[in-house]
Amino acid sequence: MLIAQITDLHVTRKDELLSGRVDTRSALKACMTRLAAQDPRPDVVLVTGDLTETATDEEYDFIVKALEALGIPFFVVPGNHDDRATMRQTFPGMAAGDPDAPFCFSIDRADWPLRLIGLDSIVPRRSEGALCPTRLDWLAGELGQATPEHPALIFMHHPPFRTGIAPMDACGVLDGLPAFRDLISANADRISGILCGHVHRVIHAAIGGVPVLLAPSSAHQITLDLKETAPLTFTLEPPKIALHDWRPETGLVTHYAYVDTFPGPYPF
């Protein structure tokens, strides 16, 4: 199964640049062009949060049109820039329930070897994340339906570990992390990986042997500065998509592909 992941689209209002500098709408279009050209075609596209910059209907409309035009099944989870109720209107049926309830859902298609678990890690109107007992109880129930032969793939916005990028760790998962890590460790044999965004960089870690993989933004990247006093700044390092190839004999094999194209390929 080939899973494409894009994240942190931060689509702005029409004719607005993010921080006066980043054209996130054009960046998303370029990302869609790259995905459309992907051969073999991904089976699914997962979007790990911060879809919009300000959570307006119009920003979501722009995204849903772009995703639908791809013609590949897609699933989304919210980031700290998103709004649950507006996402429920934009993506009806994906996480049915109370408009403001955590946007959590799982997908278990007979023709897919993985159970996809979308986990909402947000705190409405806050930058930091949380994994409350309600969400963890729900996650435990979902993991209970996965098996080592038909494992789960969790996708969420906030990374469940310290990244070392201080201004992003300050708005990481501040609540519920020990219980989450215990739950993952206890079910490690039935979880193939955890995909995240939020930090706008490629970063890898593991919990109980389960890989936790962060993909970079489809638009702008957070500066790699590991000083404890690092300010929050961004760079225009080139955007990438993640391609996660899952097979029973290997588990996840992950590639990061530039959205931009470069000269080549050339024969040796």
Q: Which residues of this chain interact with Fe ion, rule CB under 5 A?
A: 8, 50, 79-80, 198
Q: Shortest distance, CB of residue 139 to Fe ion, whole angstroms? A: 20
* Residue 73, CA distances (Å) to 94, 204, 251 in order: 11, 26, 21
Of the pair 117, 122, the CB lying nearest Fe ion is at 122
Minimum Å distance from CB 108 to Fe ion?
Answer: 27
b/e map of 53-81 (b: 16 or more CB within 10 Å)?
A: bebbeebbebbbebbeebebebbbbbbbb
Distance CA 235, CA 256 (A): 18
Place of tokens 């992390």: 177
Smallest CA-to-CA distance from 18 within 237, 219, 232 is with: 219
Q: Shortest Cβ distance from residue 205 to Fe ion (Å)?
A: 17
Nearest residue (CB) to Fe ion, 143 versus 222 = 222
Pick between residue 81 and residue 88 the one whose CB is nearest to Fe ion. Answer: 81
Q: Are 94 and 75 in contact (CB under 8 A)?
A: yes
CB of 168 to Fe ion, least distance (A): 8
Nearer to Fe ion, 24 or 90 (CB): 24
Distance in Å, CB of 49 to Fe ion, minimum: 6
As beta bridge partners, residue 205 has: 212
Nearer residue to Fe ion within complex by CB, 128 or 245: 128
